[in-house]
Amino acid sequence: MQYKSQAVAKPYFIAAIGLFVAQILFGLVMGLQYVVGDFLFPAIPFNVARMVHTNALIVWLLMGFMGSAYYLVPEEAETELHSPKLALALFWIFLVAAALTVLGYLMVPYATLAKITGNDLLPTMGREFLEQPTITKVGIVVVALGFLFNLTMTFLKGRKTAISSILLLGLWGLAIMFLFSFYNPDNLVKDKYYWWFVVHLWVEGVWELILGAILAFVLIKVTGVDREVIEKWLYVIITLTLISGILGTGHHFYWIGAPEYWQWIGSVFSALEPIPFFAMTVFAFNIVNKRRREHPNKAAVLWALGTSVMAFLGAGVWGFLHTLAPVNYYTHGTQITAAHGHMAFYGAYVMVVLTMISYAMPVIRGRAANSERSQVLEMWSFWLMTIAMVFITLFLTAAGILQVYLQRFSDTPQPFMVVQEKIALFYWLREFTGLVFLLGLVLYIASFFVKGEAPATSGKLAGATR
């Protein structure tokens, strides 16, 4: 490491992977409950499994973003982190709050949890992805403010780069958009309208800035390509992201009672959203092809390239498949939506966090890269998880197409539960591929414990990482 304080990223990365495992385990439980309705009932009802699955996803990605930022910003700013002690204190606060919240979901009925955590004083609970108790949301805001203060002070006292500037813009945007989770109007249309200000403007707005900054940082380190070249690409990508992503929020307003002009705005700008992801794919492969050296961490290079491709497929292609209003009229809320969500989250955000962990953890442990044996195992984990996610997406897409036809498009539409029984085969196939994904995740974790000599690092490599 160039700066000792970068080591505070390590506990964030470890906790992120631990929560990732929890997310996948509860996803498998929920997947099985699709076809075996009373599995683990009443101990873990479907709604509780779903809350843990989706909330663990959000929390572990936030942990990953925070760890990535603590590693990235000091190196970009060429100075030590403002306060490593604050970073570690906030880590434990965040981790304990997340653990207590999950235990609350599992051990207390949700209505009771809302009552004992102050939801009557400031109602914020009961909305998808934002099920966290009000007190947990307040804790998240406190942690976020401390985290952003720490990073901003580090940024201000050191070198300013495009990568660190864009990363901080994305992180501040993430925190600001989360404040809308505290606004819970009685009117359902207004509720959904502002709810998307959190959910959409996170994943199709400010999170994409974080994604672009992390990916650009890793590519600079592993390719040695001039910073100016990568930064020009980065500016183009984030401009396209913000232009398409902000107004693209309109594709969520089609059927909630908002004015019908949102059908045009949402359709047009959502149709543009694949462009920044395609640009990201071209960017990543272009930079790797122009590399000035072979970095010893081949696994990190593979993750970086995989991120761009899978983000384009999941967020770009599968997003476009059902984003136009005339199509979304039939597909809204079906398994096609689930197919898009799974591949988009995995490709855009899960993979970029794993990319950063793959690159940074060996450096934190005192080596440029893990051993060859470790990297072979890690690359096996890449292919198992990625191929499994591709098949999960394909199975859910097939289920969604059949669901749309049987339930909404045919001359004799069938009831929801009747259709669910007819597409159960795809749910079983999804469950099987979920187990393959879990195996890949286990191999990813195991790769960090495989011993062996680290690949040799040349002086040219060390000097080119600045």
> Over the range 363-386, which residues count as b (16 or more CB within 10 Å of their CB) and which as e?
bbeebbbbbeebbebbbbbbebbb
- In this prediction, residue 98 carries a pLDDT of 94
Once rounded to an integer, what is the mean pLDDT over residues 409-428? Answer: 96
pLDDT per residue over 332-378, tens digit each? 999 999 999 999 999 999 999 999 999 999 999 999 999 999 999 99
Compute the distance between CA of residue 314 and CA of residue 455 in angstroms, rounded to an integer. 34
Please spell the DSSP secondary structure of 227-277, one letter per residue: HHHHHHHHHHHHHHHHHHHHHGGGGGSTTTT--THHHHHHHHHHHHTHHHH
Tell me how far CA of residue 54 lies from CA of 22, 57, 147, 357, 434, in angstroms: 10, 5, 23, 21, 15
Q: Is the pLDDT of residue 238 over 50?
A: yes
| Residues 335, 399 contacting (CB under 8 angstroms) | yes
Geometric angle at alpha carbon 320, from 384 and 348, rounded to 5°: 40
Q: For 30-82, what is each residue's pLDDT tens digit?
A: 999 999 999 999 999 999 999 999 999 999 999 999 999 999 999 999 999 99
pLDDT tens column, 439-454: 999 999 999 999 877 7
358 phi/psi in degrees, rounded to 5 = -60, -40
Average pLDDT over all residues of the chain: 94
Give the C-alpha separation, 223 to 301, whole Å: 9
Amino acid 457: pLDDT: 55
Q: What is residue 1's predicted lDDT score, i.e. its pLDDT?
A: 76
Identity at 259, one-letter amino acid code: P
Q: Does residue 466 have a pLDDT over 60? A: no
Distance, CA of 85 to CA of 411 (rounded, Å) = 65
The pLDDT assigned to 293 comes to 76
**374 close to 447: Cβ distance less than 8 angstroms:** yes
d(CA 384, CA 351): 13
**Given a cut of 80, is residue 116 above it in pLDDT?**
yes
- Between helix 188-201 and helix 162-178 the angle, nearest 10°, is 160
What tokens appear for 258 in the block? 């908002």
Please give the pLDDT value at position 463.
40
Full-prediction pTM beyond 0.75?
yes
- What burial class does residue 285 get, using C-beta atoms within 10 Å of its C-beta: 0-12 exposed, 13-18 middle, 19+ buried? middle
User: Do residues 163 and 76 lie in contact, with contact meaning Cβ atoms separated by under 8 Å?
Assistant: yes
Burial class of residue 432, CB neighbours in 10 A (0-12, 13-18, 19+): middle
Sign of CA dihedral 379, 361, 22, 315: negative
pLDDT of 262 above 50: yes
Which amino acid makes up residue 121?
A: L
Q: Confidence band (pLDDT; 50, 70, 90) for 456?
A: low
